[in-house]
Amino acid sequence: MAAVTECLFCRIVAGEIPAEVVRAGDRVIAFRDVNPQAPTHVLVVSREHHDNVAALALADPEALAEMVTVGADLAKAEAEGDFRLVFNTGAEAGQSVFHVHGHVLAGRDFGWPPG
């Protein structure tokens, strides 16, 4: 799927907008969230544009698996290994950028249920 020119995360993938990239894989890249909610807060995004995680799971399940692997690897490298992986899906669930991204959160305790 071609990059969506007005999509913020397509533009970060293309290098048009700067980001602190911490992992670059075949199908995904990971960069630090600009407004971190934990000591480690990294966004793992597909290189190709998909609107959300459900669309990604249908189109490219290997990319979804790579996202989980990258998240686990980051949590081991930067924290104790435990992590939360959040895919806000749809505006009512808190999604504000409509290019699939997993929030990898680690380095502190997390409450449940989420807000």
Catalytic residues: 101
Taking CB under 6 A as the rule, does residue 35 contact ligand 5GP?
Answer: yes
Residues 39/105, Cβ–Cβ less than 8 Å: no
Taking CB under 6 A as the rule, does residue 58 contact ligand 5GP?
Answer: no
Cβ closer to ligand 5GP: 43 or 44? Answer: 43
For residue 52, which of 108, 93, 1, 100 has the smallest C-alpha distance? 100
Residues 3/17, Cβ–Cβ less than 8 Å: no
For the bound state, the minimum distance from the C-beta of residue 43 to ligand 5GP, rounded and expressed in Å, comes to 6
97 binds, among Zn ion, ligand 5GP, none (CB under 5 to 8 A by kind): ligand 5GP
Tokens of residue 18, six digits: 């700067």
